[in-house]
Amino acid sequence: MKSVADVAGITREELQLAARNHGMPLEALRYDVTPPGLHYLLIHYDIPQIDADAWRLRVGGLITRPLELSLSDLRQRTTVTRAVTLECAGNGRALLEPRPLSQPWLLEAVGTAEWTGVPLRDVLEEAGVEPGAAELVFTGLDRGVEGEIEQAYERSLSIDESMREDVLLAFAMNGQALPPQHGAPLRLIVPGWYGMTSVKWLSRITAVGEEFGGYQMATSYRFRSDPDEVGEAVTRIRPRSLMIPPGIPEFLTRSRVLDAGTHTLVGRAWSGLGAIERVEFSQDDGATWSDARLHPPHRDASAWRGWSSEWAASAGERVLCCRATDSTGAMQPLEASWNVGGYANNAVQRVPVLVR
């Protein structure tokens, strides 16, 4: 198992990304719904400047009745609010060795918000997806250069996944208007999938007849052991559990100290593959494990699940770990499996502490 102690030599490019993208400080795991401003944030290019009054969502391509919807058109439809845990596909990347060069997340690229919007399915049913359509392409208004290609951020999703009842076109977050950095005026929310799928600053939905080969599908966000491989697509969130690091931190090193005695360790666990069925706790760097107590599941299966564990801490240095298993049997590994892009590293969290 790797800890942050093994990370070194972050480059200037990585620092620039870390300075503008926001992690969720892990003590914010205490909140069932992440307060605004503590949710993780990965902005591929720049936050675009959008006139919400002039903005329209266009639904076209292999569509029977193409639509052009204003924000107020969307607000007047039947809306749904759903708590969804989103995690960046790059979470854990900076703990891989060698470290893939991109946003250098440690473990903090996660958050849970209450998203309010219109079910995508309702809009698609009104528009009518033609039988020849294979996928929907979701296009954002954010533009940049990546892999030497100038592009708008675009991702596709199969018709089946798009027609799931829990996929939203969201215009509000935690009961407030969607903030600019989270995709205002409208973003796609695809529960269970890594965050790159939940396209922000959404402007177009296009039904296409074959697999979409855009950069974020064919080049980025694929599991590859070698850059020349085609690789498998990164899709659903692998199981992960995180704990609130106990005790108090040292400012620079973030190393933790706490007093001997009984402590209640608290954390959250989630998986996009299935329901969380088990969380285990270890005080000896994963040598031995005991079951944590799972808190009641959230009303929305798309939200993380709380857990806690009593811990009788005796003096000395300890490495605390937690490990989640979901209903498909998927369990967090002790060691990360490396890939070129540094995606989906869900190896168990390690929290070194000094008990005094």
| Residues found near its own copies in the complex (CB under 8 A) | 4-20, 22-23, 25-28, 30-31, 35-39, 41, 43-47, 49, 94, 101-102, 104-106, 108, 143-146, 150, 179-182, 245, 248-254, 257
Task: Decide whether 158 or 253 has the Cβ nearer to its own copies.
Answer: 253
In whole angstroms, how far apart are CA 140 and each of 17, 48, 56, 183, 200?
Answer: 20, 9, 12, 9, 6
Nearest distance, CB of residue 150 and its own copies, angstroms: 7
CB–CB of 149/215 below 8 Å?
yes
Task: Decide whether 20 or 164 has the Cβ nearer to its own copies.
Answer: 20
How many angstroms separate the CA atoms of 345 and 338, rounded? 8
Q: Using alpha carbons only, what angle is made at residue 46 by residues 41 and 52, rounded to the nearest 5 degrees?
A: 90
Task: Decide whether 47 or 123 has the Cβ nearer to its own copies.
Answer: 47
In whole angstroms, how far apart are CA 345 and each of 3, 99, 247, 334, 349?
Answer: 13, 12, 26, 11, 11
**Which phi and psi (to 5°) does residue 4 adopt?**
-65, -20
Residue recorded with tokens 């299966």: 301
CB–CB of 161/168 below 8 Å?
no
Task: Decide whether 5 or 233 has the Cβ nearer to its own copies.
Answer: 5
Task: Decide whether 81 or 181 has the Cβ nearer to its own copies.
Answer: 181
Task: Decide whether 21 or 162 has the Cβ nearer to its own copies.
Answer: 21
Task: Decide whether 192 or 342 has the Cβ nearer to its own copies.
Answer: 342
Nearest distance, CB of residue 313 and its own copies, angstroms: 17
Nearest distance, CB of residue 54 and its own copies, angstroms: 16
Nearest distance, CB of residue 230 and its own copies, angstroms: 21
How many angstroms separate the CA atoms of 224 and 14, rounded? 21
Nearest distance, CB of residue 172 and its own copies, angstroms: 14
Query: Is the peptide bond between 239 and the residue preceding it cis, with omega within 30 degrees of 0?
Result: no
Nearest distance, CB of residue 158 and its own copies, angstroms: 26
Nearest distance, CB of residue 6 and its own copies, angstroms: 8
Nearest distance, CB of residue 139 and its own copies, angstroms: 15
Collect all residues with Cβ–Cβ distance below 8 Å to 296 and sequence separation of at least 6: none
Collect all residues with Cβ–Cβ distance below 8 Å to 253 and sequence separation of at least 6: none
Task: Decide whether 149 or 275 has the Cβ nearer to its own copies.
Answer: 149
In whole angstroms, how far apart are CA 349 and each of 88, 143, 275, 346, 355?
Answer: 16, 34, 20, 8, 18
What the block records as the tokens of 164 is 């799931």
